[in-house]
């Protein structure tokens, strides 16, 4: 047999870069290391961006709070955790969740000690007159229906003289009228102290869900809007 020796002869099946300049030879181990590093950096970047978004969202839009005490029984209980909508602080009038309304459950800094936060129900609006007769609330002389109250926590039925609410102030009360420190005793809350409206309960497990805000007859609300408009004209 004739043996033919050829320079640069390779075993059958071997592909050499010299065969075609367009052929790319890949080192799988090196590529896998580079790919892992690249994907890790992308993951760190995405996590960082998510954290930044959550922080900004918490600072400007939604904040968790913890209920401390029993002044809002039976709607809220001690130890429950709520999410607070902070859009109301910016007074976006074009949407319902962007401004305060009667019946909202609001969170605010206690006027006599701003280091403390309270959660109460918003009862009276700026310019209105609030009076309590035998435990029942009257707004500008009209009875305020409050179906969120229960008899068990409203047995004392005290009376309080009429109070005129100043501009940019709100009158708040706890649903547990027998055990609530609220505007009946220390006056109305400045608007700037109200930093959010509670809208969702995420703890405890048996009561997770959206909070139902108090809503009232349109007749009462329309009278209030007319009165507020008159007060604004005077200003």
What amino acid positions are annotated as catalytic residues? Answer: 71, 120
3-state DSSP assignment of residue 194: strand
- Quick check: 167 and 126 in contact, CB under 8 A? yes
DSSP state of 143: E
Separation of alpha carbons 62 and 232, rounded Å:
30
Rg (CA), the chain: 33
> Angle at Cα 6 formed by Cα 3 and Cα 7, nearest 5°?
150
Give dist(CA 195, CA 111) in Å, integer.
13
Classify the phi-psi angles of 13: left when phi > 0, otherwise alpha if psi is within -120 to 50, otherwise beta. left
Q: Taking the chain, what is the end-to-end CA distance rounded to the nearest angstrom?
A: 116
Farthest-apart Cα atoms in the chain, separation: 124
Side-chain half-sphere exposure of 200, counting CA atoms within 13 A: 9
Q: Do the strands 117-124 and 136-139 form a parallel or antiparallel pair, or are they unpaired? A: unpaired
163 φ/ψ sector (left φ>0, alpha ψ -120 to 50, else beta) = beta
């Amino acid at each position: 047999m004739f043996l033919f020796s050829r320079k640069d002869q390779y075993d059958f099946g071997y592909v050499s870069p010299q065969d075609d300049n367009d052929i790319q030879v890949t080192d799988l181990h090196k590529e896998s290391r580079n790919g892992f590093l690249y994907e890790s950096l992308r993951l760190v970047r995405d996590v960082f961006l998510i954290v930044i978004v959550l922080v900004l969202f918490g600072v400007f839009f939604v904040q968790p709070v913890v209920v401390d005490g029993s002044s809002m029984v039976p709607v809220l209980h001690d130890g429950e955790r709520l999410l607070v909508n902070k859009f109301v602080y910016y007074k976006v009038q074009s949407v319902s969740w962007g401004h305060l309304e009667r019946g909202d459950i609001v969170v605010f800094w206690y006027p006599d000690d701003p280091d403390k936060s309270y959660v109460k129900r918003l009862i009276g609006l700026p310019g209105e007159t609030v009076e309590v007769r035998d435990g029942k609330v009257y707004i500008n002389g009209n009875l305020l229906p409050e179906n969120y109250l229960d008899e068990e926590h409203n047995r004392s039925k005290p009376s309080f003289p009429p109070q005129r609410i100043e501009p940019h102030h709100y009158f708040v009360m706890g649903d547990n009228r027998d055990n609530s420190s609220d505007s009946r005793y220390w006056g109305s809350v400045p608007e700037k102290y109200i930093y959010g409206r509670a809208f969702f309960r995420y703890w405890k497990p048996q009561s997770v869900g959206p909070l139902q805000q108090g809503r009232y007859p349109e007749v009462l609300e329309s009278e209030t809007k007319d009165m507020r408009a008159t007060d604004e004209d005077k200003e």
